[in-house]
Amino acid sequence: MGVYDIEIDGIDGSPDLLGSVKGKAALFVNVASKCGLTPQYTALEALHEELKDKGFSVIGFPCNQFGGQEPGTESEIVQFCSETYGVTFPLSAKVDVNGTPQHALFKQLNETADGTGHAGDIRWNFEKYVIDRNGQVVARFAPTVAPDAPEVREAIESALA
């Protein structure tokens, strides 16, 4: 089963957020508004804008599990993202990415190891997963790896092929 077969609501309450991007390559990122890594939103939005016409989407998954760095309501998150970073890519409803209750999507995503061999729980905000058009995870990157780093871009280009 690919990740696009797992249901998760959009931040606006719409059902089946992933169904709207099924068949596209994507970069899934657990995000937070009050994190030292929050400025990554700039590069995430730039990637989304640059590659969306090629069948690519960034998708953000707001999570408050790391230092309480996503404390806002869903409407506050949308407002922050759009006003501060001009975010146009889809966001999910707030989600738990680790522990209990961990969303089924992240149970599947977290099985993938990154380039250092780390699999399992997400370490912090802005962990990244590259998804191919078939909904398979093809790469995972640590939070501190920039969204536009050469290795991330290479994985995205491969997923788009």
Catalytic residues: 35
CA distance 100 to 83: 32
Side-chain half-sphere CA neighbours of 24 within 13 A = 19
User: Helix (H, G, I), strand (E, B), or coil: what is residue 53?
Assistant: helix
* Other Cβ atoms closer than 10 A to 4: 22
Structure tokens at 2: 């690919």
Distance in angstroms (rounded) separating the CA atoms of residues 25 and 106: 17
Q: Which of 112, 159, 161, 99 is nearest to 140 (CA)?
A: 112
Kindly state the DSSP code that residue 148 receives in the 8-state scheme: T
Please give the Cα distance from 115 to 118 (Å, whole number).
Answer: 7
Q: What is the DSSP letter of 37?
A: T
